[in-house]
């Protein structure tokens, strides 16, 4: 089973990202869950969302404590939240940032597998708003192969209707431009 934790702010689409990931996995005959965790609902407040994907039925209904993958939609949260808390040692951190790999590693204290994409730039280019949820899903798919890209495109079309095209363009650009580092090996 793969477990995911999404970090973002209210209004950025963290919850939608988790839901799209689960819907896409289910369309590929896998089992999946997606659920949010937040306090007072307001735009801009820190939000966490979770997802699980498995080849067998999922009986666990608790929040994700030991994710295999953490996605950070809003890089400013790195200074407020320990985004790598509980991340499996062989896990993957996916961040939306224009910062260098060295800076991200220093600020997150993460030496493992890392995927980085300038999600806000891509979102502003295609969606004209700093909502990078589909961007981050493109990065996630490239880095993990956890779901099928064609099925994700179908889920995006279904979810976004008239505005699907701009989201699909953002998804594809992120898939093509994400940089993936295997991390620092320790002696």
Residue found under tokens 């608790």: 62
Asked, for residue 187, whether it belongs to a domain, the answer is: no
CA dihedral 21, 22, 24, 27 (to 10 degrees): 170
Asked, for residue 148, whether it belongs to a domain, the answer is: yes
Q: What is the model's pLDDT at position 54?
A: 97
* d(C-alpha 40, C-alpha 184), whole Å: 38
The domain total for the chain is 1
Contacts of 2 (CB under 8 A, 6+ apart): 52, 53, 54, 68, 69, 144, 146
Tell me the CATH number at 147: 3.40.920.10
Asked, for residue 59, whether it belongs to a domain, the answer is: yes
β-pair partners for 181: 114
Buried/exposed code over 41-63 (b: 16+ C-beta within 10 A; e: otherwise): eeeeebbbbbbbbbeeeeeeeee
Asked, for residue 146, whether it belongs to a domain, the answer is: yes
Asked, for residue 100, whether it belongs to a domain, the answer is: yes
Phi, psi of 34 (to 5 degrees): -150, 135
CB 12 within 8 A of CB 64: no
**Residue ranges of the chain with per-residue pLDDT less than 50:** 187
Q: What is the model's pLDDT at position 187?
A: 45
Asked, for residue 131, whether it belongs to a domain, the answer is: yes
Residue 39's domain comprises 2-181
Q: Helix and strand tally (H, E) in the chain?
A: 6, 7
pLDDT digits (tens, 9 = 90+) for 27-67: 999 999 999 876 555 667 788 999 999 999 999 888 899 99
Torsion sign over Cα 23, 28, 29, 31: negative
Asked, for residue 186, whether it belongs to a domain, the answer is: no
Classify strands 113-117 and 179-181 as parallel, antiparallel or unpaired.
antiparallel
């Amino acid at each position: 089973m793969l477990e995911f934790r999404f970090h973002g702010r209210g209004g950025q689409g963290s919850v939608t990202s988790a839901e799209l990931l689960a819907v896409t996995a289910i369309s590929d005959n896998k089992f999946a869950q997606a659920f949010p965790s937040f306090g007072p609902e307001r735009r801009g407040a820190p939000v966490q969302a979770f997802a699980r994907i498995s080849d067998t039925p999922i009986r666990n209904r608790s929040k994700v404590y030991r994710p295999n993958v953490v996605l950070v939609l809003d890089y400013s949260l790195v200074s407020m939240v320990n985004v790598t808390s509980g991340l499996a040692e062989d896990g993957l951190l996916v961040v939306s940032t224009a910062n260098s790999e060295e800076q991200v590693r220093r600020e997150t204290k993460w030496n493992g597998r890392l995927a980085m994409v300038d999600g806000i730039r891509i979102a502003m280019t295609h969606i004209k708003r700093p909502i990078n949820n589909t961007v981050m899903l493109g990065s996630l798919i490239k880095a993990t192969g956890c779901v099928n890209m064609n099925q994700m495109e179908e889920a995006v079309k279904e979810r976004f209707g008239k505005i699907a095209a701009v989201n699909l363009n953002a998804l594809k650009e992120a898939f093509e431009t994400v940089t993936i580092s295997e991390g620092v090996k320790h002696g």
